[in-house]
Amino acid sequence: MLQSGSLPTLLLLLSFTSSIETDTRLLPPPQKVRIESTNMKHLLKWSPLQVSCATVTYSVQFQGEFELQFLNGSWENALDCQSIHENVCDLTPDLASDSDYDIRVRAECGGQVSRWTSLGTRFNRRETNLSTPDMRVNVSGDFIHVEFANLPKNVDIILMHWRQGQELSASRHHITAEWNPFHLGGLESGATYCLSAQALLHSINKSTSTETKCFRIPESMLPWLKPIAVFVAVVIVMALGFAAFWSLTGCCPALLHACWPKEQLPDALLHREAGNTLRVHTEEELRELYHSVQVLDPSQPEREEEKG
Ligand SMILES: *[C@@H]1O[C@H](CO)[C@@H](O)[C@H](O)[C@H]1NC(C)=O
Ligand SMILES: *[C@@H]1O[C@H](CO)[C@@H](O)[C@H](O)[C@H]1NC(C)=O
Ligand SMILES: *[C@@H]1O[C@H](CO)[C@@H](O)[C@H](O)[C@H]1NC(C)=O
Ligand SMILES: *[C@@H]1O[C@H](CO)[C@@H](O)[C@H](O)[C@H]1NC(C)=O
């Protein structure tokens, strides 16, 4: 390329590159370029430029194995990250294959551009970190409500639930975004159930699991309330009955008499002689018997009987 006849061209080229260098020296390149990738969402971040320039913008480019092998090592513009004001770029739609990508960013201000700052290492989206599912659980009645907060669309959840101590016979539930929140029903009251969730990213065969959490289903009211209610009712009825009986017999005999007056047995029964023969009383005897009915002390009927 550098032939003797092409000196003016070389000078022109040198002056052109030096003018670029002058420009790039005025605008420092972005620092601390890094990629944060969680659940297949890839964010390129860098420190904002501290320069006395009106509006600093940034542009991002990437180069994958495809660009290296088939496009002569060209760089592609990141779709949504051209002349952006933020110091973060979502590269999720750009890094569309499981290949190694080189990524770079530069700053722009006015007519000036900085040099490119490269990520430094190649990034493969398989390095994405899978976050542990944010499992939120409520117990109400014999239901367990399970909700996964911020569940990404491309992440599947396998929820396992089992009765405590029976982990081997755990039930599996496949939960996708439309089944979130999920309701576990028909659980036995008073029993303890354990839950654990596994997040799966099928595209890169990665998974993470939550810790196991156990929840006790509260005893439902009816099974123990019924016998207790019956028992209490029986005790109350018995106590009332006893109190009534005691008050009538021991405390207020007059009341007892008023309610169930004790009738004097007829003479024929009261004064049974041997042979059960009827006896004819004298008038005096009858009067005495009549008086005895009148003055009878109801609390001492026996003595009257003895007397008779
Ligand atoms: C994954 O997480 C680890 C630990 O938090 C972090 O050091 C690493 O940079 C993360 N990787 C990506 C690609 O975000
Ligand atoms: C790559 O470079 C070669 C020669 O240098 C050229 O023939 C070819 O067209 C280039 N391909 C692309 C995609 O630019
Ligand atoms: C659990 O209860 C809280 C507050 O009581 C509520 O905000 C949340 O939505 C409930 N979650 C589920 C899964 O029912
Ligand atoms: C996924 O990973 C598991 C172990 O981590 C392995 O047994 C399985 O073969 C992998 N599947 C695929 C499709 O790579």
22 and 108 in a single domain? The answer is yes
Which of 216, 251, 267 represents a domain boundary (last residue)? 216
pLDDT top residue among 158 and 298: 158
pLDDT-derived band at 258, boundaries 50, 70, 90: low
82 and 149 in a single domain? The answer is no
The DSSP code sequence of 19-47 is HHHHHHHHSPPPEEEEEEEETTEEEEEEE
Q: Is the CB of 71 under 6 A from ligand 2?
A: yes
Domain count, the chain: 2
According to the model, what pLDDT value does residue 203 have? 82
- Is the pLDDT score of 287 beyond 70? no
pLDDT-derived band at 19, boundaries 50, 70, 90: very low
Does 38 fall in a domain?
yes
User: In CATH, what number is assigned to the domain containing residue 122?
Assistant: 2.60.40.10
**Atom 1 in ligand 1: residue holding the nearest Cα:** 129
According to the model, what pLDDT value does residue 122 have? 94
74 and 153 in a single domain? The answer is no
According to the model, what pLDDT value does residue 215 have? 93
Does 42 fall in a domain?
yes
Does 244 fall in a domain?
no
Does 197 fall in a domain?
yes
Ligand at shortest distance from the CA of 123: 1
- Is the pLDDT score of 1 beyond 70? no
Q: Is the CB of 127 under 6 A from ligand 1?
A: yes
104 and 172 in a single domain? The answer is no
30 and 109 in a single domain? The answer is yes
21 and 115 in a single domain? The answer is yes
Q: Is the CB of 37 under 6 A from ligand 1?
A: yes
**Atom 3 in ligand 2: residue holding the nearest Cα:** 72
- Is the pLDDT score of 279 beyond 60? no
Ligand 2 mutation pick, 72, 75, 76, max ligand atoms within 8 A of CB: 72
105 and 22 in a single domain? The answer is yes
Mean pLDDT of the residues in the chain: 79
103 and 176 in a single domain? The answer is no
According to the model, what pLDDT value does residue 225 have? 65
Does 308 fall in a domain?
no
According to the model, what pLDDT value does residue 194 have? 95
99-138: pLDDT as tens digits: 999 999 999 998 889 999 999 999 999 999 998 989 999 9
Please give the residue range of the domain that contains residue 113. 17-127
178-192: pLDDT as tens digits: 888 899 988 888 999
Which of 216, 250, 282 represents a domain boundary (last residue)? 216
Which of 216, 236, 255 represents a domain boundary (last residue)? 216
What is the reported pTM?
Answer: 0.61
Closest ligand 2 atom to 71 CA: 13
Q: How far apart are CA 171 and CA 284, in angstroms?
A: 99
108 and 185 in a single domain? The answer is no
According to the model, what pLDDT value does residue 4 have? 47
According to the model, what pLDDT value does residue 37 have? 94
25-84: pLDDT as tens digits: 578 999 999 999 998 999 999 999 888 888 899 999 999 998 888 888 899 999 999 999
According to the model, what pLDDT value does residue 16 have? 44
118 and 24 in a single domain? The answer is yes
Distance 200 CA to ligand 4 centre (A): 12
In contact, 85 and 54? CB cutoff 8 Å: no
- Is the pLDDT score of 18 beyond 70? no
Closest ligand 3 atom to 138 CA: 1
According to the model, what pLDDT value does residue 58 have? 95
Does 223 fall in a domain?
no
Selection from 103, 102, 73 nearest residue 88 by Cα: 103
Does 261 fall in a domain?
no
91 and 147 in a single domain? The answer is no
Does 295 fall in a domain?
no
Distance 143 CA to ligand 3 centre (A): 12
According to the model, what pLDDT value does residue 176 have? 84
In contact, 134 and 165? CB cutoff 8 Å: no
Distant-in-sequence, close-in-space partners of 58: CB < 8 Å, separation ≥ 6: 30, 46, 81, 83, 84, 85, 86, 87, 89, 105, 106, 107, 108
30-42: pLDDT as tens digits: 999 999 999 899 9
Q: Retrieve residue 97's tokens.
A: 């294959």
Distance 147 CA to ligand 3 centre (A): 8
141 and 206 in a single domain? The answer is yes
Q: What's the DSSP call for residue 185?
A: -
